[in-house]
Amino acid sequence: MNYLTFEQIKAQLRLDDAQATEERELLEMYGEAAEDTVLNLCNRTITDVYEQYGMVPKALVHATLMLVAQSYQHREPASPQNLYAVPYAFDLMTVNGKPGDILDVPLVLSNLEDLYDMTFQITFPSGLEPDLEEIYLSEKAVGYDVSMTAVDDTTYMFSMIGGMVAATSTELLRFRVKVADDYTTGTSGRVKINQVSVTEADGNHLTASTRNGRIAIYKRGDTNGDNVVNITDAMNMITNVLEQKTSVFIKEVSDLNGDDDINVTDAMGVVNIALEEE
């Protein structure tokens, strides 16, 4: 969150420690979306606010907390998307990988009406920034001039001008991320979208609902995601090969021989890695 704190949200909603902890991820998502909504309504960025006031005014904080409270009180199960009463949504997907991988990170647009010019800001985890020379644009996004401006080392402002996306649900953009061979495993970083503005056919400018994604990096063979490769991972893989579900199975690090088929051969590969790490 840019200026709200978890403790402020907890106090505003009068939640006890146990309930607040249990719902922390949901509350932070409401907080981020409320910040974006208030800033968009004010036609400001957080940088603008700090440059003008040196701080975030109490009135702005109060308005944002009120919006969080309203959204929380009228929530539907697992549905922070309902924060915005607008027919447009930008969803960043969660992607798993391992050191050395090249990952595709999709941004999905769902729009009930045709959309025209749009701008949005995306922040990537440090060390997992996209290759700006390899960004895929959907064929359904027709006629756009796409430009990108670096806000800082991990944040980029995207402008899509002069085109149109007909009412649809589509992978609007796809970012390519190279994971360094020495990237720290057992880590997960958020990919965040905010500062969204879309233009309707009549020239009206609106915001949109957003859902952030994550990029999680695991060790090769760490099928249960605990950052240790051992016999448990092999058993976890075999259970899934036998088409029995387990609580966690990370398929992106399970195809050890790269034949696009996860089978007992891969499970034996996990055993070999486990023996090497002992």
Residue-wise pLDDT for 32-47, tens only, equals 888 888 777 677 778 8
Q: Please tell me the least confidently modeled range out of 16-30, 64-78, 223-237.
A: 64-78
Average pLDDT over residues 74-98: 69
pLDDT for residue 86: 55
Q: Do residue 74 and residue 92 come from a single domain?
A: no
pLDDT for residue 61: 86
| Mean pLDDT, all residues of the chain | 87
Q: Please tell me the least confidently modeled range out of 73-77, 127-131, 201-205.
A: 73-77
Examine the pLDDT at 275 and tell me if it is beyond 70. yes
Q: Do residue 94 and residue 145 come from a single domain?
A: yes
CA atoms of 267 and 102, how far apart (whole Å): 23
pLDDT for residue 126: 95
Condensed to tens digits (0 to 9), the pLDDT of residues 249-259 reads 999 999 998 89
Q: Is residue 39 part of a domain?
A: yes
Q: Do residue 96 and residue 213 come from a single domain?
A: yes
Q: Please tell me the least confidently modeled range out of 135-144, 220-229, 242-251.
A: 242-251
Higher pLDDT, 157 or 54: 157
Condensed to tens digits (0 to 9), the pLDDT of residues 107-140 reads 999 888 899 999 999 999 999 999 988 999 999 9
CA-based R_g, the chain, Å? 21
Q: How confident is the model at residue 83 (pLDDT cuts 50, 70, 90)?
A: very low
Q: Do residue 119 and residue 170 come from a single domain?
A: yes
Q: Do residue 57 and residue 167 come from a single domain?
A: no
**Domain end (from 50, 65, 83):** 83
Examine the pLDDT at 82 and tell me if it is beyond 50. no
Is the backbone of residue 14 left (phi > 0), alpha (psi -120 to 50) or beta?
left
Q: At what angle do helices 24-41 and 46-53 cross, to 10 degrees?
A: 70
Query: Is the CB of residue 196 less than 8 Å from the CB of residue 207?
Result: yes
Q: Which domain holds residue 94?
A: 88-217
pLDDT for residue 153: 94
Q: Do residue 63 and residue 126 come from a single domain?
A: no
CA atoms of 249 and 262, how far apart (whole Å): 12
SS3 276: helix
Q: Please tell me the least confidently modeled range out of 14-18, 123-127, 213-217.
A: 14-18
pTM score, two decimals? 0.68
